[in-house]
Structure 1
Amino acid sequence: MNHSLPQDVLDQIAAEERHFADAPRAFFEAWKRGAEIAGAEWFGDGTPEGLQRATSKWDLRPKVLLLNDALDVLSGGQRMFLSAMVSFYNAREGGAMLKRCGFEGLSDLGGLDLERRKVIADLVLNYSGW
């Protein structure tokens, strides 16, 4: 008796393994896109050159203290986008920032433009821990 899995199940397992093997790189690429959209000043060393030199998410850690101080003067969309990004780096800090922005659930991300939505979607899809 053959107890092997059906080919479609094996194909699905292989696809998931490929996805998760590629996820850290894809996450970094989405993170870097997000940092470019939001502005280099909020990430890493705060310079455009630092943003361009970055080779890992660690090079582009969000400047959480600076963001917290500036949160009330940013536009609503910028606040929401940056707070959502911070939540991937530090769930507690990002969650508190999102709460300050009036975020109540994922549907609130519907206020973001398409470019920012794609960044958040790619971050969710490829997140494998910070």
Structure 2
Amino acid sequence: MSGQAPSHAPSAATIETLARDALARIPEPFQTHLADVVLIVEEFADDETLDAMGIEDPFDLTGLYHGRPVGEKSAFDSGGLPDRIHLYRRPILDEWCDTGVPLQVLVAHIVVHEVGHHFGLSDDDMHALEDAAG
């Protein structure tokens, strides 16, 4: 059976497992701040999210960070929702099929990008973090 293509699309649970593995590989000092971030895998972003971001095609959004970047948090922040990383399964699978990038690599890239937003990192910083987490 080895070498055969999968007979079904990876589930939300599979993508969540890949994302949690990617989160676990992110090095310190970032790791300490990720303990409270909630990871959510959904089929697509909801209409409200897409509208807020000015995105018409739901396949154009693979992931999204909701919350305040670490540098903008305050000791007075309490009672609010926890920071969340949303991953959108169908757009991820679409990109996986279109690019041929291994699913584990693609999910890790998206997770690192969203974590980068959590920390307010630049694109260059995110690429360095991705290399470190690889």
Fold agreement, TM-score > 0.5: no
- TM-score, with structure 1 as normaliser: 0.31
Indicate the structure with greater strand content: 2
Considering only CA atoms, is the larger Rg found in Structure 1 or Structure 2? 1
Indicate the structure with greater helix content: 1
Q: Comparing both chains, which one has the higher relative contact order based on Cα–Cα distances under 8 Å and sequence gaps of 6 or more?
A: 2
- TM-score, with structure 2 as normaliser: 0.30
